[in-house]
Structure 1
Amino acid sequence: MDQVIIGVDTHKSNHIAVAINTHGARLGEKTIPTTSRGYRDLEIWASGFGQVKAFGIEGTGSFGANLSRALMAKGHVVMDVMRPNRQIRYLQGKSDALDAEGAARSVLNGQTTALAKTQTGTSEMLRHLKVARDSAVKARSQAMITLKTLIINAPVELRDTLEKINGRITLIRHLAAWHQPTQINSPTASAKMVLRSIARRCLALHEEVDGHDRELERMAHEKAPGLMASHGISTMTVAEMLILVGDNPERIRSEAALAKLCGVCPVPASSGKTNRMRLNRGGNRQANAALYRVAIVRMRDHEMTRAYVAKRTTEGKTRREIVRCLERYIVREIYRHLCGSQTSPRPV
């Protein structure tokens, strides 16, 4: 039986699929709704051309998430396809069918090698919690800025009273304990009502963030207890790495692949007689920032890391180059904990 590859261009309300065979010949095109029935119809339609070798889907983490989950649950190989090359799109034109065909051909020619995340386990739950936490932290910061601005512009007698209170949480609780004014008949009354409202919002968001933090810490301890015990690695760093790796860590083939995914692999920047490497500005920037924080913490108070920094400094390395090297070592440690062998990793 002939093997076929299916490329899918995903959208909010429908997906466009194109089938090609292993010789690159286009076999057909189909549009399906983003429903369970549409996913079943796509599988039946694809099977009509022969044995499905793989599905290449754009946006497996967004519009194509449910489709990729449904196909992987049926045992199909699902590849995560990057967006089309802009130069090729400019030369060949843009349409949903062309994008779907390009996704299939990128799987055929080996350009796409990344397996999609299963998104059915602890890593997906961590992602949900972290999205909610980050949103609550942002809203809390915005509420605090608004509160401080209102206090600065409040009537002078009210402002003088509030400036005597020390501590952010103490101030917020003091404002939240005010009684609701029965009638707004002066700027002082309106200021009191608004300050009380925003203070209560801050407290609610603070409790929400604390609840998310407790749940994230519990799940991170259950999923990666060894990594949680490593020096300088916090709960948010472990959660970020678990989200990045996903629930199927076998898709990360090597520590070099994880380093590239985090944007910490060295990039050649040599020309002529100059032979050097530069920082990688690609990859997952949230994971990259988490690794940077770990490196800075270890450079401050971790004996082995401080000895390494001193050694590299004597060799003529700049601080930026040393941080890049440290991040690469930290990725190696994380890889061994999350998706590598069972040998006990050594900290940097």
Structure 2
Amino acid sequence: MITIGIDPHKSSLTAVALDPSGQIADSIRLPVDGAVVGQLLAWAQRWGPRRWAVEGAAGLGRGVAQGLAVAGECVVDVPAQLAARARLLDTGHARKTDAIDAASVAVVAQRSRRLHRVHPEDQSVVLRLLSERRDDLAGERVRVVNRLHALLRDLIPGGARRNLTAEQASALLDGVQAMTAPDAQRQQLAVDLVADLRRLDAALAANTTDIAAAVEAQASTLTQIHGIGPVLAAKIIGQTGVVQRFPTRYHYASYCGTAPIEASSGEQRRHRLSRAGNRQLNRALHLVAVCQIRTKSPGREFYQRKLAESKTAAEARRALKRRLCDTIYRHLTRDHLARQPQP
């Protein structure tokens, strides 16, 4: 089988084809435009069985990787770090060109069996985009409220309450009588920030509605889990992506950062907390675990059993996160199978 490695850039890409023995069969450099996928397919049609390897298929290589996947080609994603290591080991020097990089990407694809296959984008990408937009809006709202608090502290003795809304801030500003030019400027800036706060609240409300509709269109059963609403379901589905890329629940737990890492030495067997994995998913699992611990739920009963086993609160919470990770994986897998066309 021919393996074609692609080193993508913003305005151009280089593709190198390797035969099964690892020898370069051909190479090509193309500008990145609307016709690049068709040009690549026309160039590669001379070879029968072939596989494409794209460096950074979720970054600069997303466009060409998705175009090839939609065309029915077999495409795998090669992390840039793996390609860099392969280049150093294969060439024995630090010289770097686009052709060498593309060949290194192909070498990684030939020798590795654990690369993720690129699938055409589906509804999970919509949920990820909506979830990321919500994070941006929420972060901007926090910054606006903090700026507003700082101004109100200078305009009003004692400042304003912590959970400040646009209506409350507007009412406070109506009672302010600016005595100096700086205070007048502070008041005007505060009025502008209140308008920004209203705009962000409206955008967050619209985003919440869009997320709820998208989760319903996905026909997800994640919301049946105690502590998971549409917003968290969108975060989990969007960050997980195509669930079939995880062969088992253990692979998914490792990706979420809930699987402990073995750190044994000699006769001593021990494990340590994993700081790796997708931190967005890990945080979502943490929120679900805290919700279940604080309310009457099966998760609370599990947490209390772990405490009765002399586990610390942190250890019991981590065990609950691991259990929730398995539950979420089962739901995601069942939802994926339910969406498949019946024979």
Name the SS of the counterpart of 1:22 in structure 2: coil
| Distance in 1 between residues matched to 2:136 and 2:290, nearest whole Å | 26
Match of 1:63 among 50, 60, 64: 60
| Distance in 2 between residues matched to 1:175 and 1:28, nearest whole Å | 71
Change (3 A) 1:210 1:102: same
Name the SS of the counterpart of 2:10 in structure 1: coil
Name the SS of the counterpart of 1:317 in structure 2: coil
1:143 maps to 144
1:227 maps to 222
1:222 Cα deviation from its structure 2 partner: 3.1
Which string of whole-angstrom CA distances, capped at 9 and with x for unpartnered residues, describes residues 47-72 of structure 1? 23x12432111222221111111101
Which string of whole-angstrom CA distances, capped at 9 and with x for unpartnered residues, describes residues 75-94 of structure 1? 11111111234655555323
| Distance in 1 between residues matched to 2:100 and 2:135, nearest whole Å | 37
1:38 Cα deviation from its structure 2 partner: 1.5
**Residue 20 (str. 1) matches residue 22 (str. 2):** no
Change (3 A) 1:342 1:69: closer
- Backbone CA RMSD of aligned residues: 2.9
| Distance in 2 between residues matched to 1:105 and 1:44, nearest whole Å | 22
2:104 maps to 102
Is contact 2:221-2:335 (8 Å) kept?
no
Superposition pairs for residues 125-274 of structure 1, below 5 Å?
125-154=126-155, 159-160=156-157, 163=159, 168-169=164-165, 170-174=167-171, 186-246=181-241, 248-274=242-268
Superposition pairs for residues 271-282 of structure 1, below 5 Å?
271-282=265-276
Change (3 A) 1:164 1:16: closer
Q: Which moved more, 1:275-284 or 1:80-89?
A: 80-89
Which string of whole-angstrom CA distances, capped at 9 and with x for unpartnered residues, describes residues 11-63 of structure 1? 21122211111221122222222212112111222223x12432111222221
Name the SS of the counterpart of 2:52 in structure 1: strand
Letter in 1 for 2:110: L
1:341 Cα deviation from its structure 2 partner: 7.8
The TM-score normalised by the length of structure 1 is: 0.85
Is contact 2:14-2:102 (8 Å) kept?
yes
2:341 maps to none
Change (3 A) 1:41 1:343: closer
Name the SS of the counterpart of 1:35 in structure 2: coil
Change (3 A) 1:150 1:9: same
Is contact 2:250-2:259 (8 Å) kept?
yes
Query: What is the percentage of aligned positions where both structures have the same residue?
Result: 26
Name the SS of the counterpart of 1:221 in structure 2: helix
How many pairs does the alignment contain?
331
Which string of whole-angstrom CA distances, capped at 9 and with x for unpartnered residues, describes residues 135-179 of structure 1? 12111111111111122234xxxx24x95889611333437889x
Which string of whole-angstrom CA distances, capped at 9 and with x for unpartnered residues, describes residues 168-226 of structure 1? 11333437889xx9xxx933332222111111011101111111012112212332442
Is contact 2:55-2:80 (8 Å) kept?
yes
Change (3 A) 1:163 1:321: closer
Letter in 1 for 2:139: K
| Distance in 1 between residues matched to 2:294 and 2:116, nearest whole Å | 36
> Unaligned 5+ residue runs, structure 2?
339-343
Is contact 1:176-1:200 (8 Å) kept?
no
1:99 Cα deviation from its structure 2 partner: 2.4
Match of 2:305 among 311, 323, 327: 311
Is contact 2:153-2:159 (8 Å) kept?
no
| Distance in 1 between residues matched to 2:108 and 2:232, nearest whole Å | 33
Name the SS of the counterpart of 1:135 in structure 2: helix
Name the SS of the counterpart of 1:270 in structure 2: coil
Change (3 A) 1:133 1:5: same
> Unaligned 5+ residue runs, structure 1?
none
